[in-house]
Structure 1
Amino acid sequence: MANTDYPRVMREYAEQGYDLIVGEVFGAEREAREVAADYPQTAFLMGSSFREDPALENFPVFDCYIQDATHLSGIVAGAMTETGNIGMVGGLPIPEVNRLMNAFMAGVREMRHDVRFQVSFIGPWFDPPKAKETAFAMIENGADMLYAERFGVSDAAQERDVLAIGNVIDTQADYPETVVTSAIWHFEPTLEAAVEAVRAGEFTAADYGRYSFMDRGGSSLAPLGTFEGRVPEDAMELLRTREEAIRAGEYSVEVDDSEPKSS
Structure 2
Amino acid sequence: MKSTAFSRRSLLASTLGSALAGMVWLDHAHAEDFKMGLLVPGSVAEEGWNRIAYDALKRVEKELGAKISYVELAENPAAFEKAFRDYASQGYHVVLGHGFQFQDAALTTAEDFPDTVFLISSSSVHEGKVIGLNTDASQPFYLMGVIAAKMGNGAGLIGGMEIPPIAHAFEGFRKGAESVNPDYPVSTVFINSFTDASAAKEAAVSMMAQGADFVVPNANAAGLGVIRAAQESGTQSGTFSVYSDYTDVAPKNILGTFIADYGQGIVRIVSGIRDGAVPQSNVDFGLKDKDVIKFTFNDEAARSIPQDLRNHLEEVSAKIIAGEIQTRAK
- Tell me what 2:273 maps to: 198
Work out which of the residue numbers 132, 138, 150 in structure 2 matches 1:67: 138
Q: RMSD over aligned Cα, in angstroms?
A: 2.5
Q: How far does residue 133 in structure 1 lie from its aligned partner after superposition?
A: 0.8
Q: Distance in 2 between matches of 1:153 and 1:256?
A: 27
Structure-2 change in CA distance of 1:24 and 1:96 (3 Å)? same
Deviations 1:175-213 (A, max 9, x none): 1111111222122254134214303422045222x1x21
Q: Structure 1 residues 224-233 or 103-112, which shifts more?
A: 224-233
The AA in structure 2 aligned to 1:69 is P
Asked whether the 8 Å contact 1:73–1:107 carries over to 2, the reply is yes
Q: Distance in 1 between matches of 2:302 and 2:267?
A: 33
Normalising by structure 1, we get a TM-score of: 0.83
- Tell me what 1:230 maps to: 304
Deviations 1:119-143 (A, max 9, x none): 1111222211111111111111111
Asked whether the 8 Å contact 2:100–2:165 carries over to 1, the reply is no
- Tell me what 1:89 maps to: 158
The AA in structure 2 aligned to 1:234 is D
Asked whether the 8 Å contact 1:45–1:194 carries over to 2, the reply is no
Q: Distance in 2 between matches of 1:8 and 1:73?
A: 38
In the TM superposition, what are the counterparts of 1:117-132 in structure 2 within 5 Å? 117-132=186-201
Asked whether the 8 Å contact 1:170–1:222 carries over to 2, the reply is no
- Tell me what 1:140 maps to: 209
Q: Distance in 1 between matches of 2:99 and 2:189?
A: 24
Secondary structure of residue in 1 paired with 2:162 = coil
Q: Distance in 1 between matches of 2:169 and 2:151?
A: 19
Secondary structure of residue in 1 paired with 2:309 = helix
Asked whether the 8 Å contact 1:75–1:107 carries over to 2, the reply is yes
Q: How far does residue 96 in structure 1 lie from its aligned partner after superposition?
A: 0.3
Asked whether the 8 Å contact 2:103–2:120 carries over to 1, the reply is no
Q: Distance in 1 between matches of 2:179 and 2:256?
A: 17
Does residue 256 (structure 1) correspond to residue 329 (structure 2)? The answer is: yes
The AA in structure 2 aligned to 1:197 is G
Work out which of the residue numbers 66, 70, 85 in structure 2 matches 1:11: 85
Q: Distance in 1 between matches of 2:93 and 2:151?
A: 48
How many pairs does the alignment contain?
A: 249
Q: Percent identity?
A: 23
Structure whose residues are more often strand by fraction? 2
Does residue 173 (structure 1) correspond to residue 242 (structure 2)? The answer is: no
Q: Distance in 2 between matches of 1:48 and 1:77?
A: 25
Structure 2 alignment gaps of length 5 or more: 1-72
Q: How far does residue 163 in structure 1 lie from its aligned partner after superposition?
A: 1.1
